[in-house]
């Protein structure tokens, strides 16, 4: 995404809207048929004029035009969008800048209540001892009943050094708590965490590619390099991307000057640009592993795909999202913007990893993945095979963790979250995040906590039994199979009651992570999860075995993923 400045002008008056829409055709510089453009804009303006004059109800001009623009853009792709003046600040936080004035906490609404989801360490909310799970009753004397999540967020934000007062209901505390906070400039880091792992392996977690992300990765790398680095793990999991140029800067840390990183190609020739590295690299030879998953997208895929194509890094994890499109923002009148997909990007081997084909919809407007028959093979710098049209496929695939339905249900009904809140309020401290584990006694307390909760759910087996009953009733055969049906139903019900025992280890793992975050915030969530992290285990074992690492980059030998932490891997490398 390429940033552009926004202009500020007076608002349109409703009476001149039609004239402005028609006059707008003369500003188009890239159209094939000005008559068709003029004709259809004239029709659009005329429809709006007649509605505005004659419709039986009140017409909201801004809402109607916004709906029309959104419907028009929906025919293109989900990344081309109109941003009205009231949404500009949220847009900047999402796509451009990480800075805003506020208290440093995320909030969510649940059952009409405003709950603090997570305070950020080092900012006003955390320094005032606001905690995850606290309910905000009032903000500066204004009750929050009926307020939306966006409205609450706006109330918490404000100029730096201004005062905001909160009235808090903390679970387990009978009396309401008053807190006075002074807003600060909140700057969320692109790199929220970096550390040294065993055997002098560095680790950098990159959350997003917004302003200054390239410099943040460089600073973390230089700090880690003081420890005689043996290798580096760059974690791009759940990173949805951001600014393309920041991705180029990060690739440049590991690749020498004047190397092609990515090419963007658009219908407009002015949008066809080749991005090359322009500085000397910081670590051209350091063993490098990049972690990706199905939520790694856009700029994340540029970094992973380029370093894979250049045979500079090994990619570990699951197939990435597959977003090979580039967006740019353009100023519109009266402090609004339009973000437009202007090009596709191509990694050094020449592949575009875009997975969904938005240019060829079917008659119903549905979008499909690029057909297998159209996927093309490309070659990396040293001759390894890579493919387009389906995201970045890892060099070492690690089977993703899939939680059982009992675990998913406990999470979706907030029982992990709420119990962690209770645990934090009852326990002033815990062991450090890396070593924190729940005992069997602790787990029994959680099971006891659930005994008074409704966490009912239907298993796949129960659904199949229900379908069987429906079909038997339709065929008048239920009476014949009823004894067997009832016996199966009873067995399934008994098995389901044992789910808290059968899936104890995975439930404990999720609960431990939630509790650790209550004391050590995002850093604690990451560190506590390391010991269960399959991709991390794979990466550490690869860096420890230099011959295997080299053989994968050369495209020779084989590597068998372990799939579970703590197990050995087997590799046959041609030497």
The more confidently predicted of residues 48 and 574 is: 48
Per residue in 471-515, pLDDT (tens digit) is 888 888 878 888 787 777 777 665 667 889 999 999 999 999 999
What gap in Å lies between CA 262 and CA 287, rounded to an integer?
22
Q: Which residues pair with 438 in a beta bridge?
A: none
The arithmetic mean of pLDDT across residues 514-533, rounded, is 95
User: What is the pLDDT at residue 22?
Assistant: 37
Put simply, whether the predicted model's pTM sits higher than 0.95 gets the answer no
User: What is the pLDDT at residue 65?
Assistant: 87
- Delimit the CATH 3.90.226.10 region(s) of the chain: 193-397
User: What is the pLDDT at residue 208?
Assistant: 94
User: What is the pLDDT at residue 70?
Assistant: 92
Chain centroid to CA 148: how far?
22
DSSP state string for 112-160: TEEEEEEEPTTSHHHHTT--TTPEEEEETTEE-TT--HHHHHHHH--ST
User: What is the pLDDT at residue 560?
Assistant: 56
User: What is the pLDDT at residue 7?
Assistant: 36
Q: Is the pLDDT of residue 530 over 90?
A: yes
The arithmetic mean of pLDDT across residues 463-475, rounded, is 82
What gap in Å lies between CA 388 and CA 513, rounded to an integer?
36
Q: Is the pLDDT of residue 27 over 70?
A: no
How many Å is the maximal CA-CA distance in the chain? 81
Three-class DSSP category at 197: strand
Q: Which among 69, 85, 89, 101 has a CA at the least distance from the CA of 8? A: 85
User: What is the pLDDT at residue 267?
Assistant: 87
DSSP state string for 515-575: HHHHHHHHHHHHHHHGGG-HHHHHHHHHHH-HHHHHHHHHT-SEEE---STT---EEE---
Give the tokens for residue 452.
């008074």
Q: Is the pLDDT of residue 10 over 80?
A: no
Non-local CB neighbours of 98 within 8 Å, separated by 6+ positions: 187, 188, 189, 190, 208, 210, 211, 212
What gap in Å lies between CA 82 and CA 339, rounded to an integer?
6
- Going by pLDDT thresholds of 50, 70 and 90, the confidence category of residue 91 is confident
The more confidently predicted of residues 111 and 445 is: 445
What gap in Å lies between CA 418 and CA 110, rounded to an integer?
12
Provide the annotated active-site residues. 298, 309, 323
Give the tokens for residue 494.
């008994």
Question: What superfamily in CATH does domain 99-187 come from?
Answer: PDZ domain (2.30.42.10)
User: Burial of 181 by CB count in 10 Å (0-12 exposed, 13-18 middle, 19+ buried)?
Assistant: buried
Choose the weakest-confidence range: 10-24, 380-394, 534-548: 10-24
- Going by pLDDT thresholds of 50, 70 and 90, the confidence category of residue 402 is very high
Architecture of the domain spanning 193-397: Alpha-Beta Complex (3.90)
What gap in Å lies between CA 66 and CA 539, rounded to an integer?
47
The arithmetic mean of pLDDT across residues 313-341, rounded, is 93
The single residue listed with the structure tokens 């708590």 is 177
User: What is the pLDDT at residue 21?
Assistant: 39
Length of the chain: 575
DSSP state for residue 503 in the 8-state scheme:
T
Integer CA distances (angstroms), 41 to 17, 51, 269, 573, in order: 12, 15, 26, 64
The arithmetic mean of pLDDT across residues 102-130, rounded, is 93
Three-class DSSP category at 292: strand
Integer CA distances (angstroms), 105 to 64, 115, 134, 136, 516, in order: 34, 10, 11, 12, 17
Three-class DSSP category at 229: coil
DSSP state for residue 297 in the 8-state scheme:
-
Per residue in 215-252, pLDDT (tens digit) is 999 999 999 999 989 999 999 999 999 999 999 999 99
What gap in Å lies between CA 88 and CA 62, rounded to an integer?
15
User: What is the pLDDT at residue 24?
Assistant: 44
Integer CA distances (angstroms), 64 to 9, 80, 328, 368, 459, in order: 21, 19, 25, 30, 44
DSSP state for residue 172 in the 8-state scheme:
T
For the chain, give the percent of residues with pLDDT over 90.
63
User: Burial of 422 by CB count in 10 Å (0-12 exposed, 13-18 middle, 19+ buried)?
Assistant: middle
User: What is the pLDDT at residue 563?
Assistant: 42
Q: Is the pLDDT of residue 567 over 70?
A: no
Choose the weakest-confidence range: 252-266, 484-498, 559-573: 559-573
The single residue listed with the structure tokens 């853009």 is 73
Q: Is the pLDDT of residue 128 over 70?
A: yes
User: What is the pLDDT at residue 557?
Assistant: 59
What gap in Å lies between CA 379 and CA 386, rounded to an integer?
6
What φ, ψ does residue 96 adopt, rounded to 5°? -125, -65
What gap in Å lies between CA 120 and CA 270, rounded to an integer?
42
User: What is the pLDDT at residue 495?
Assistant: 64
The arithmetic mean of pLDDT across residues 263-273, rounded, is 90
What gap in Å lies between CA 255 and CA 261, rounded to an integer?
9
Dihedral Cα 407, 408, 410, 413, nearest 10 deg: 180
Three-class DSSP category at 23: helix
- Delimit the CATH 2.30.42.10 region(s) of the chain: 99-187
């Amino acid at each position: 995404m390429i940033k552009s400045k926004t202009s500020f002008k007076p608002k349109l008056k409703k009476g001149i809207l039609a004239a402005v829409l028609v006059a707008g055709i003369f500003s188009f510089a890239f159209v094939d048929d000005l008559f068709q453009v003029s004709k259809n804009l004239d029709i659009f303006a005329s429809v709006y004029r007649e509605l505005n004059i004659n419709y039986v109800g009140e017409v909201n001009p801004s809402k109607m035009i916004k709906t029309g623009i959104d419907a028009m853009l929906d025919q293109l792709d989900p990344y081309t969008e109109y941003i009205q003046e009231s949404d500009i600040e949220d847009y900047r936080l999402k796509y451009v800048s990480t800075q805003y004035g506020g208290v440093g906490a995320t909030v969510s609404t649940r059952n009409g209540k405003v709950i603090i989801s997570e305070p950020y360490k080092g900012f006003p909310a955390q320094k005032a001892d606001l905690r995850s799970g606290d309910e905000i009753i009032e903000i500066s004397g204004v009750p929050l009943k009926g307020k939306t999540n966006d409205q609450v967020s706006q109330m918490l934000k404000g100029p730096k050094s201004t005062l905001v007062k909160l009235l808090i209901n903390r679970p387990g505390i009978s009396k309401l708590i008053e807190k006075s906070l002074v807003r600060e400039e909140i700057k969320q880091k692109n790199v929220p965490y970096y550390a040294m792992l065993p055997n002098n392996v560095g680790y950098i977690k990159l959350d997003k590619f917004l302003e200054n992300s390239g410099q943040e990765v460089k600073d973390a790398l230089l700090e880690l390099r003081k420890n005689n680095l043996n290798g580096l793990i760059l974690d791009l999991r759940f990173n949805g991307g951001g600014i393309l140029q920041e991705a180029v800067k990060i690739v440049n840390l590991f690749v020498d000057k004047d190397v092609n990183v990515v090419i963007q190609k658009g219908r407009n020739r002015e949008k066809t640009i080749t991005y090359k590295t322009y500085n000397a690299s910081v670590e051209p030879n350091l063993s490098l592993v990049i972690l990706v998953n199905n939520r790694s997208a856009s700029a994340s895929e540029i970094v992973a795909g380029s370093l894979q194509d250049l045979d500079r890094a090994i990619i570990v994890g699951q197939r990435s999202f597959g977003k090979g499109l580039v967006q740019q923002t353009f100023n519109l009148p009266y402090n609004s913007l339009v973000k437009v997909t202007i090009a596709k990007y191509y990694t050094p081997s020449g592949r575009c990893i875009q997975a969904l084909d938005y240019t060829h919809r079917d008659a119903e407007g549905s979008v499909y993945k690029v057909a297998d028959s159209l996927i093309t093979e490309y070659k990396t710098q040293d001759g390894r095979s890579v493919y387009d049209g389906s995201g970045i496929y890892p060099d070492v695939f690690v089977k993703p963790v899939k939680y059982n339905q009992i675990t998913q249900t406990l999470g979706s009904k907030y029982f992990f979250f709420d119990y962690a809140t209770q645990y934090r309020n009852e326990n002033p401290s815990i062991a450090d995040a890396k070593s924190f584990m729940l005992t069997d006694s602790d787990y029994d307390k959680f099971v006891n906590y659930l005994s008074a909760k409704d966490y009912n759910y239907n298993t796949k087996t129960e659904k199949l039994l229900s379908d069987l009953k429906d079909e038997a009733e339709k065929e008048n055969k239920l009476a014949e199979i009823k004894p067997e049906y009832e016996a199966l139903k009873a067995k399934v019900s008994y098995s389901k009651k044992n789910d808290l025992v059968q899936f104890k280890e995975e439930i404990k793992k999720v609960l431990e992570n939630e509790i650790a975050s209550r004391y050590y915030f995002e850093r604690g969530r990451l560190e506590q999860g390391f010991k269960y992290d399959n991709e991390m285990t794979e990466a550490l074992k690869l860096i420890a075995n230099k011959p295997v690492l080299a053989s994968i980059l050369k495209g020779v030998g084989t590597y068998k993923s372990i799939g579970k932490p703590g197990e050995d891997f087997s590799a046959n490398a041609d030497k």
